[in-house]
Amino acid sequence: MANIKTLAEFIVERQKDFPFATGDLSRLLTSIRLAAKLVNREVNKAGLVDEILGETNVHNIQGERQQKLDVYANERFISAMRNQGEVCAIASEENDDPIIFDHPISRDGKYVVAMDPLDGSSNIDVNVSIGTIFSIYRRLDPNKVTLDDFLQPGTQQVAAGYVIYGSSTMLVYTTGHGVNGFTLDPSIGVFCLSHADMKIPNDGSIYSVNEGNYFDFPENVRRYIDDCKRSKLSARYIGSLVADFHRNLLKGGIYMYPSTAKAPKGKLRLLYEANPLAFIMEQAGGLASDGNQRILEVQPTELHQRCPLFIGSKAMVEAATKD
């Protein structure tokens, strides 16, 4: 077999990037890897197994009916990290409040994680790619976990990544030393390095935005979208953030979710959508802005706060966010 590097080998090899690494972050990434494989298995057969498909009668804080696969994914990632011991608390899109572990193995964990366990889940039933997004911080106080652990600006992230469950399943992450992508080989259940040191092209010919909201957008955004059309760029909007983000990362492009009248703060969540993807995007040479400032410098005030998002190729984000 060609010289395949597995995610496990890569994590150990890169541990050397951290002179004082004790292996804790490596072990944390291993628990995420395990949960991703379990979720991948259920996502891939969701069409066949009706107890996974369809909706529960439970609504999450977003007021959205929870899809059963959302609940399954949430539980898988929470239990994998609880049992692994490096994480002391998790903030999830699916839970109103942070989950603080009291488990002897994990209550002393030195990291906290913010995650969207299954973004784009309304696409599950129509077989469109969906994804998990995660953001990792060091806890602030070894003796207690508070909301402040989760309200650190994105610049304080230790690592961030996403899993995309699509035609193939990939795990893409950064620890601040570049971005690397791993593709799951289902025949052996192993993530293998397939996209080393990912970099987004400085400019691109794809723009992703829900143009149904066009007349609601700020005037400068409408002007930018008009310019994209005049320049004959390609409009690609899947309705699944991770899928649009991943394609733009590989090919160049911009994803926009501006503020609208209905959503003055935009729709996307700062802690577990915008921040982790902004960390990855900047590490890949792109930009991420809320229209006024760098996403990573926004000071969070609430767990589930929303923010407008302009993310992708540097030249495109600069053009889209200039007044």
Minimum gap (Å) between residue 229 Cβ and ligand P6P: 18
Minimum Å gap between C-beta 267 and ligand P6P is 6
Restricting to residues 11-30, name those near ligand P6P by CB under 6 A. none
Please state, in angstroms and as integers, the Cα–Cα distance from residue 297 to each residue in 31, 126, 141, 274, following that order. Answer: 28, 36, 22, 11
- Distance, in Å, from the CA atom of 266 to the CA atom of 308, rounded to the nearest integer, reads 4
Closest by CA to 122, choosing from 180, 185, 201, 62, is 62
Dist CA 303 CA 147 (whole Å): 8
Q: Which is nearer to ligand P6P, 240 or 321 (CB)?
A: 240
122 binds ligand P6P (CB under 6 A): yes
C-beta of 312: minimal distance to ligand P6P in Å? 13
Residue 56 CA to residue 67 CA, distance in Å, equals 6
From candidates 15, 95, 155, 210, binder to ligand P6P by CB under 6 A: 210
How far apart are the C-alpha atoms of 102 and 167, rounded to whole Å? 38
Q: Is 305 in the site for ligand P6P (CB under 6 A)?
A: no
As a dihedral over the C-alpha atoms of residue 78, residue 82, residue 88, residue 94, rounded to 10 degrees, the angle is 10
DSSP label of 21:
-
Task: Indicate the residue among 64 and 318 with the shorter CB distance to ligand P6P.
Answer: 64
Segment contacting ligand P6P by CB under 6 A, of 117-125, 153-161, 169-177, 199-207: 117-125
DSSP symbols for 251-315: H--EEEE---SS-TT-SSBIIIIIHHHHHHHHHTT-EEE-SSSBGGG----STT-B--EEEE-HH
User: Which CB atom, from 106 or from 240, has the smaller least distance to ligand P6P?
Assistant: 240
Under 8 Å between Cβ of 200 and 181: no
Size of the site for ligand P6P (CB under 6 A): 8
Binds ligand P6P by CB under 6 A, chosen from 98, 120, 181, 252: 120
Provide the minimum distance between the beta carbon of 305 and ligand P6P in the complex, in angstroms, as a whole number: 14
Give the binding range for ligand P6P (CB under 6 A) out of 29-37, 53-61, 114-122, 215-223.
114-122
**3-state DSSP helix/strand/coil % of the chain, to nearest 5:** 35, 25, 40
- Give the phi and the psi of residue 259 in degrees, each rounded to 5: -70, 150
Give the residue with the Cβ less far from ligand P6P, 28 or 254. 254
Could you give the CA distance from residue 103 to residue 271 in angstroms, rounded to a whole number?
Answer: 24
The CB-of-148 to ligand P6P minimum distance in angstroms stands at 26
Report the residue number, 109 or 131, with the smaller CB distance to ligand P6P: 131
Site string for ligand P6P, 236-275 (x = CB under 6 A): ---xxx-------------------------x--------
Shortest approach of ligand P6P to residue 280 CB, angstroms? 15
Binding site for ligand P6P (CB under 6 A): 119-120, 122, 210, 239-241, 267
